[in-house]
Structure 1
Amino acid sequence: MSRSSLKDCTGLHVVAQTPFHAEGTVDLDSIDTLSAFYYSHGARGLTILGVSGEQAKLTPQEAIAVARRFIRVADGHRIIVGVSSPSLAQLVTVTRDAMAEGADAVMICPPRGTQTDEDLMRYFAAVFARIGETPTVLQDFPMHSGVRMSPPLIRRLVDTFPQIGVIKEEDLPSVTKITRLRDELGDRVRILTGNNGLYLPQELARGADGPMAGFSFPEMLSGVHDLFTAGDLPAAHDLFERYLPLLRYEAQGEWGIAIRKEVMRQRGALRCSALRMPGPVLSAVDKREIATMIERQNTDFRFDAGSAD
């Protein structure tokens, strides 16, 4: 395999949540309803076991059980498995097992400590020596990893390792980084964007191929991409701006992940919105506030300037 296996990786690929029961055990049954929710709202694929999927809180055995269930109900949709780990041995094991279960690709973010360009080249040489031709998404997320990859370095990685078919671009400012990556790479790889979709219209205008984000209203992410691709930019911006209050509210780190899971519980996608400990626990006040925001989100508000007179 090579990056050609990811050549059609466009449109919405939701960063999926990992469902848990209230006591913290993995809720495998809710993966079925969660997957159906994502697919019914325009997801072309899922990225599972990412940062907001609480991958770091799972054992390798749990990670594979979660991957297996998402793959089982994928119904033809692409499944990308986050395998990033400070342990190369664990990364290799989870990659091998996930691909054996039927995953389409893995996503890798370089670990802390790989600071220089040569460190990064050596690290990925070691990774691909062990995982072979596995199709790979390279995650560029320095706010999480502490590792900064310049566009020329990313080009070196793509040149050297044909397994890399997608860049998940989350460096800030993402719009200028996307422009520089397109200058370096042309259309050789796909570029998907994260940061919960906060800058999606501008990122699409700079050459991104779609969102890889976990916003609790995925129909906004898919809708903006589809309208933009169809050339209806005003409608794409209007749709995006309608969701900005909730989008901003979710952009609060780990607490924002708790908000997102509660929104999806209230929308029927999850039975329980719990994060695995350690993690924030929402109060009754928080949940009522979220319910109010959902109610407002579902209402088509219009402002009549004449009514303000």
Structure 2
Amino acid sequence: MSTSQVTLEGVYPILATPFTDRGEVDEESLRELVRFQLQAKVNGIALFGNASEMYTLLEREREVIAAIVTDEVKGRVPLVFGSGHTGLEGAVQLSKWAQKAGADALMVLPPYMVKPDGKRMIEYFSAIAKAVDIPIMLQDAPVASGVSIPVSTMAKLAKECENISYVKVEAPPTTVKITEVLEQSEGRLTVFGGLNGMYYYEELCRGAAGTMPACEFPDVCVEIYRRFVSGDRESARALFYQYLPFIRIGTVAGFAMSVHKEVLKEGGVIQSAYVRNPNAPIDNILRKEVLETLSGLDPHVLRWKRRTDLNG
């Protein structure tokens, strides 16, 4: 994958980090999870996002995860690494490492411990842009990070830094902000939706180039995208609305990571639904509610174990 020329569009699931029941990175489940994404014909894969529990990962674990994912993908689709940090120096170092470790593009949160003012935010993103020569996606995720990136700041950064060329808009209402970004950036910024695809269809209608949801329903997201870009909007909308209750339950505050992993475990993609503190494991009631949202639906994830068993 040519790093400097990569164009991102379509479905880029945020890869979960599978752990064993003892809380260690489960390398075999991680490989299986990557195979599951590729089988769904995703356009690319993102790692070290919020849905990867990136804030719990140790440096050595990041290295292991990056090595496994790049080995499984073998350049077939672009990889986007999250490289945001609580400070400028940390973000620059992480971004340089990510480029060397196989990232085709970076997804960068603003500093999220001490909330930056406008000047500090510009300095932070500009320093990262100068440190690497791959595309940068600004991650506007105030629900998760507590920091909102103003549209005027995004437009200024895109104008001043050639490789700041993408935004992942996760500030509700995402649809309204997507329109503002596209209008104010004068064509310099390509927009992806987030928030687990909660407004996926509407975002596409407003000009988003794709979505970056959690990773347990890639086939559904790919099919919605395929129908939409082929001009069959009505069918794309219908499929989106079929899955909307399931998508919505994957955003339950405090339990979202457990929901994603429970579904992946249910289908045999990963072996354990273990989540690291401060995420909370789900109880039997929530597990039942999650699986009920899939009643009458047929996502690949619930057939994965059967498929691999049949293939020996």
TM-score (norm 2): 0.88
Q: Is the 8 A contact 1:3 1:162 kept in 2?
A: no
Q: Is the 8 A contact 1:3 1:164 kept in 2?
A: no
Q: Aligned-residue CA RMSD in angstroms? A: 2.1
Gaps of 5+ in 2: 300-312
What is the Cα deviation at residue 119 of structure 1? 2.1
In the TM superposition, what are the counterparts of 1:1-309 in structure 2 within 5 Å?
A: 5-6=5-6, 8-75=7-74, 76-112=76-112, 113-129=114-130, 131-214=131-214, 216-298=216-298
Aligned with 2:107: secondary structure? Answer: strand
Q: Is the 8 A contact 1:4 1:165 kept in 2?
A: no
- Separation of aligned partners in 1, 2:286 and 2:152: 44
- If you compute each CA radius of gyration, which structure gives the higher value, 1 or 2? 1
- Separation of aligned partners in 2, 1:119 and 1:91: 13
**Structure 1 match to 2:305:** none
More displaced 10-residue stretch of structure 1: 63-72 or 230-239:
63-72
Per-residue CA deviations over 1:221-277 (Å, capped at 9, x if unaligned) read 111111111111110011001112211221202302201111011122211111123
Aligned with 1:73: secondary structure? Answer: helix
- Separation of aligned partners in 1, 2:4 and 2:173: 28
Q: 1:20 corresponds to which letter in structure 2?
A: F
- Separation of aligned partners in 1, 2:118 and 2:94: 26
- Separation of aligned partners in 1, 2:128 and 2:214: 27
Gaps of 5+ in 1: 300-309
What is the Cα deviation at residue 99 of structure 1? 1.8
**Per the alignment, do residues 297 and 32 of structure 1 end up closer, same or farther by CA in structure 2, a change over 3 Å counting?**
same
Aligned with 2:296: secondary structure? Answer: helix
Q: Is the 8 A contact 1:60 1:94 kept in 2?
A: no
- Separation of aligned partners in 1, 2:227 and 2:78: 22
What is the Cα deviation at residue 189 of structure 1? 2.8
What is the Cα deviation at residue 199 of structure 1? 0.4
Q: Is the 8 A contact 1:3 1:163 kept in 2?
A: no
Q: Is the 8 A contact 1:60 1:90 kept in 2?
A: no
- Separation of aligned partners in 2, 1:88 and 1:124: 8
Q: Is the 8 A contact 1:21 1:272 kept in 2?
A: yes
**Per the alignment, do residues 194 and 98 of structure 1 end up closer, same or farther by CA in structure 2, a change over 3 Å counting?**
same
Aligned with 1:207: secondary structure? Answer: coil
Per-residue CA deviations over 1:34-60 (Å, capped at 9, x if unaligned) read 011112223111110111110010111
Q: Is the 8 A contact 2:258 2:282 kept in 1?
A: yes
Q: How many residues align?
A: 296
- Separation of aligned partners in 2, 1:197 and 1:290: 16
Q: Is the 8 A contact 2:3 2:105 kept in 1?
A: no
Q: 1:117 corresponds to which letter in structure 2?
A: G
Aligned with 2:138: secondary structure? Answer: strand
Aligned with 1:137: secondary structure? Answer: strand
TM-score (norm 1): 0.89
What is the Cα deviation at residue 178 of structure 1? 0.9
What is the Cα deviation at residue 3 of structure 1? 9.9
- Separation of aligned partners in 1, 2:270 and 2:9: 26
**Per the alignment, do residues 155 and 98 of structure 1 end up closer, same or farther by CA in structure 2, a change over 3 Å counting?**
same
Q: 2:18 corresponds to which letter in structure 1?
A: P
**Per the alignment, do residues 4 and 93 of structure 1 end up closer, same or farther by CA in structure 2, a change over 3 Å counting?**
closer
- Separation of aligned partners in 2, 1:144 and 1:285: 25
Per-residue CA deviations over 1:268-299 (Å, capped at 9, x if unaligned) read 22111111233212334444444444443239
**Structure 2 match to 1:307:** none
Q: Is the 8 A contact 1:16 1:53 kept in 2?
A: yes
Q: 1:121 corresponds to which letter in structure 2?
A: I
What is the Cα deviation at residue 169 of structure 1? 0.9
Identity between Structure 1 and Structure 2 (%): 27
- Separation of aligned partners in 2, 1:249 and 1:51: 16
Per-residue CA deviations over 1:79-114 (Å, capped at 9, x if unaligned) read 111111114333233322222222212211111334
**Per the alignment, do residues 81 and 109 of structure 1 end up closer, same or farther by CA in structure 2, a change over 3 Å counting?**
same
